[in-house]
Chain A
Amino acid sequence: MSETLLQLTGVHTHIGEYHILQGVDLTVPKDGITVLLGRNGAGKTTTLRTIMGLWHASRGSVSFNGSDITQAPTPDISCAGIAYVPESMGIFSDLTVRENLYLAARQGEIDEKRLEWIFGFFAALKKFWNQPAGTLSGGQKQMVAIARAIVEPRKLILIDEPTKGLAPAIIQGMIAAFRELKATETILLVEQNFNFVCSLGDTVAVMDGGRIVHSGMMSELAENRDRQHKLLGLSLDSHQ
């Protein structure tokens, strides 16, 4: 296995009076897609938000690329090279597609070559380049959100349920896009839709009750239907 990029050790996170993460140990290797599976309320989103510093761990540590980021403020974590696509997509609906991407380009200007590459799999963005992002459809908004995360090279991209609420045809397009991305980027992908990720993922971790209950190679889990059933239970069937 390649070198470790992100390492969570015994992370506990509280939100108000709720104890959501109860000792998460998670390793994300460099390159490829790591998939974080689990049913609703397992703590997947909280894990991403804790990594991003939007919520802070009350115990345990998060280390990224060799440095400790457990208590770092969100902008610092972002500048260290982590991009985040939240479940709500977090696009700025008042701003145009161009302006959304422009803000994500911290260098100052959007790199033309990289943009062409993005247009290659997200053609809609080119078409609606100067439209307010709020007027786009759900799938197109998701493209804006992901494009924002990759408009400049980042070391790690956190993506929270990109297929949520999208039509099957659009999900097919997303799969193609992720194939393209996977060649160059490191992605931590949260999903409930096993079919979407089983062909994409390299490594996989499964969460339940605020802990990681399984981690290993995606190919193993994809073949072992018993284990899938045991780990993912009903959430697997409901998406099939």
Chain B
Amino acid sequence: MTTTQMTLADAELPKVRVDILPLLIVPVLALLMLPLVGSFPTWVTLTVAGLAMGMMVFMMASGLTLIFGLMDVLNFGHGAFVSVGAFTGTLVLLPMKNWVEADSVLMNLSVVGLAIVLAMVVTGLLGWAFERIIIRPVYGLHLKQILITMGGMIVAEQLIHVIWGAEQIPLPLPETFRGAFIIGDAALEKYRLIAVCVGLTVFITMFLVLNRTKVGLLIRAGVENGEMVEALGYRIRRLFVGVFMAGSALAGLGGVMWGLYKETLTAAIGGEMTVLVFIVIIIGGLGSVGGCFIGAMLVALVANYAGFLAPKLALVSDILLMVTILLWRPQGLYPVAKR
């Protein structure tokens, strides 16, 4: 017995294959652009701007890709959560105007923090209701999912008009978030740096949760084989509702951040991002959080570099990027193994 076991154990040493190529794209792209852009300070500004935008897109896209991976549900109405989040943020930011206008980092941070918390709670709860009412009856039916979530998006956008009116709402940045740090000749806008910090925090938190906690492991296991997770005695439905709520809340966070970045709000703010978010999750490989992160950075960086180097090209840069990536890896950067 032991002899056979030993040969079994020694046979075919598995090769650990870490797929690092996609990880390299972002830094390589940034370095390649340096000579093209020409000036180092401009390059720094462009790169930071790209990373900041990428982080905000990542916040909106990460929930969507997980929801798709876990339950095979593609929510075409995900953008609605972005809009609702941004508009909910105004419930704090507009009445507490003097906190926003105060020249105090602490007051500014706490008012934005409060807006974010409220937005995430509201979008999270909305996500729970959306999952119950809109999504649950159409599990496994892709066609209906697309139609029904589109419908949900239309209704949500219209309801925002009903509640907040049809006019666009100005959303000024807090006083101390304005302006830029000047390092050498490079100008780094403060708010962009904040966005990078928030985005990195979200990414690292997500990474830790998915790799170090039981819930996170269950989510990753569920993405690959939900049936087996159930057979091990876990209710994948409950897991899914949780992920749906978290994903919606993240979209709400992204909405507040994005709204402050744009400094004006329209109900279509989320719908406008839908296309970009889709491109990001396609590039990343549907269902992969890591791929989604790289995809978001890539799309945003390419858009920023292209906007500087060839403004006309920037209009279609994300599509071209998507086509290029899909020609290289038809399933996206990190295809998710599926049952």
Closest to B337 in A: A93
Report the Cα distance A102→B9, complex, angstroms: 21
Q: Is the CB of B15 within 8 A of A135?
A: yes
> How close is A159's CB to chain B, nearest CB, in angstroms?
12
Closest to A125 in B: B9
Report the Cα distance A92→B337, complex, angstroms: 9
Interface residue total, chain B, C-beta cutoff 8 A: 33
Q: Which of B4, B229, B232 counts the most A-chain CB atoms under 10 A from its CB?
A: B232
Whether A170 is near chain B, meaning CB under 8 Å from some CB there, is: yes
Q: Is the CB of B14 within 8 A of A128?
A: yes
| CB-contact partner of A103 in B1, B5, B221, under 8 A | B221
User: Contacts of A84 on B, CB cut-off 8 Å?
Assistant: 231
Whether A197 is near chain B, meaning CB under 8 Å from some CB there, is: no
Whether A124 is near chain B, meaning CB under 8 Å from some CB there, is: yes
| Residues of A184-234 contacting chain B, CB below 8 A | none
Q: Is the CB of B5 within 8 A of A121?
A: yes
User: Contacts of A106 on B, CB cut-off 8 Å?
Assistant: 232-233
Whether B217 is near chain A, meaning CB under 8 Å from some CB there, is: yes
User: Contacts of A127 on B, CB cut-off 8 Å?
Assistant: 9
Contacts A95-B221, A103-B218, A123-B8; A135 near B228 (Cβ below 8 A): no
Tell me if A's interface is mostly helix, strand, loop or mixed: helix
| Residues of B205-225 contacting chain A, CB below 8 A | 214, 217-218, 220-221, 223-225
Contacts A74-B230, A78-B232, A99-B217; A134 near B5 (Cβ below 8 A): no
| Residues of B182-237 contacting chain A, CB below 8 A | 214, 217-218, 220-221, 223-225, 227-236
Contacts A99-B217, A103-B214, A104-B232; A169 near B5 (Cβ below 8 A): no
Tell me if B's interface is mostly helix, strand, loop or mixed: helix
Report the Cα distance A92→B223, complex, angstroms: 9
Q: Is the CB of A54 within 8 A of B227?
A: yes
Closest to B336 in A: A94
| Residues of A126-153 contacting chain B, CB below 8 A | 126-128, 131-132, 134-137, 139-140, 148
User: Contacts of B4 on A, CB cut-off 8 Å?
Assistant: 169, 172-173, 176
Report the Cα distance A122→B234, complex, angstroms: 26
Contacts A78-B233, A123-B9, A173-B8; A94 near B16 (Cβ below 8 A): no
Contacts A99-B217, A124-B8; A148 near B232 (Cβ below 8 A): yes
| CB-contact partner of B1 in A74, A102, A121, A124, under 8 A | A121
Closest to B238 in A: A75
> How close is B64's CB to chain A, nearest CB, in angstroms?
19
Whether A86 is near chain B, meaning CB under 8 Å from some CB there, is: yes
User: Contacts of A86 on B, CB cut-off 8 Å?
Assistant: 227-228, 231
User: Contacts of A156 on B, CB cut-off 8 Å?
Assistant: none
| CB-contact partner of A137 in B11, B231, B339, under 8 A | B11
> How close is B218's CB to chain A, nearest CB, in angstroms?
6
Q: A106-B232, A121-B5, A139-B8 are in contact. List 18 more A-B contacts (CB 8 A).
A: A74-B227, A79-B233, A83-B231, A86-B228, A90-B227, A92-B221, A92-B224, A92-B228, A93-B224, A95-B220, A123-B6, A123-B8, A135-B17, A137-B11, A169-B7, A173-B4, A173-B8, A176-B1
**Which A residues are within 8 Å of any B CB, using their own CB?**
52, 54, 73-75, 78-79, 83-84, 86, 88, 90-95, 99, 102-104, 106, 121-124, 126-128, 131-132, 134-137, 139-140, 148, 169-170, 172-173, 176
4 shortest A-B CB distances, which residue pairs?
A78-B233, A90-B228, A135-B14, A74-B230
